[in-house]
Copies of this chain bind each other. A is one copy, B any other.
Amino acid sequence: MTLQVDPARAALLLLDYQNYNVHPEGYWARAVPGSAERAAPAVARTAEVLAAARRTAITVMHVQNAWREGHPDVNPYTPWQAAAKEADRSTEGTWGIEFVEALSPVEGELVVRKRAVSGFAGTELERLLRVHDLSTLVIAGIVTNFAAEGTARDASDRGYRVIVLADCCESVTEEMHQFSITQILPAMAEVVNAADFIEWASAR
């Protein structure tokens, strides 16, 4: 598939590529052995995409999940957030919430902090997109079914054009990843791969 994107109107949006999610010594690597290895290829591909985006001067935004110390900002009725509080994980100021080194922001890239699944929920993302006049979101994130799909759903519902880089997302199991990629995302997004983005960037 040949991508057609106006770089002046698009953002590459990287979601939740943080130590607690994908680093071999992060929370999930310890809680679910094998998960960091499982995510590693997506991290590597996303690093290539990020390098291509930087060469193209497309806007890059990094979305980071973190809660305040003591978790006063979780939804106590949302099981995954209540569990994070119970585990006392992923709080501001800790190593776990930092972006994994291969996908760290550089100067001039925007970092958006969130407390929930979608990058839009209770964040300044929509305002920043408006201020920078961006209407297309190119999404890479982990895990596929939550941060990536959740943000894609939200963006589509709000009126954005959404492009998902399928192989720059990963999930808990291959079945879960494929469900999102094949059953849900095609209804609301263009679903392509890292190579498509890199090809587009290289042709510019």
Contacts and interface: CB of A to CB of B under 8 A. Distances in A.
- Contact-size category for A: 35 or more
Contacts of A72: 108, 110, 132
A157 B79 contact: no
A120 to B, nearest CB: 8
Given A122-B157, A158-B122, A159-B131, A146 B73 contact: no
Nearest to A126: B122
A116 B110 contact: no
B124 A73 contact: yes
Contacts of A162: 77-78
A122 B124 contact: yes
A79 B187 CA distance: 5
Contact of A156 (B73, B75, B176): B75
A105 B136 CA distance: 31
A32 B140 CA distance: 33
Interface in A65-102: 68, 70, 72-80
Contact of A135 (B116, B133, B156, B161): B133
A195 interface: no
Contacts of A122: 123-124, 126-128, 157-159
B77 A160 contact: yes
A24 interface: no
Given A121-B127, A133-B135, 8 more contacts: A73-B128, A75-B161, A78-B188, A118-B154, A121-B154, A128-B159, A145-B184, A176-B183
Interface of A: 68, 70, 72-80, 108, 110, 115-118, 121-124, 126-133, 135-136, 145-146, 150, 153-154, 156-162, 176, 179, 183-184, 186-190
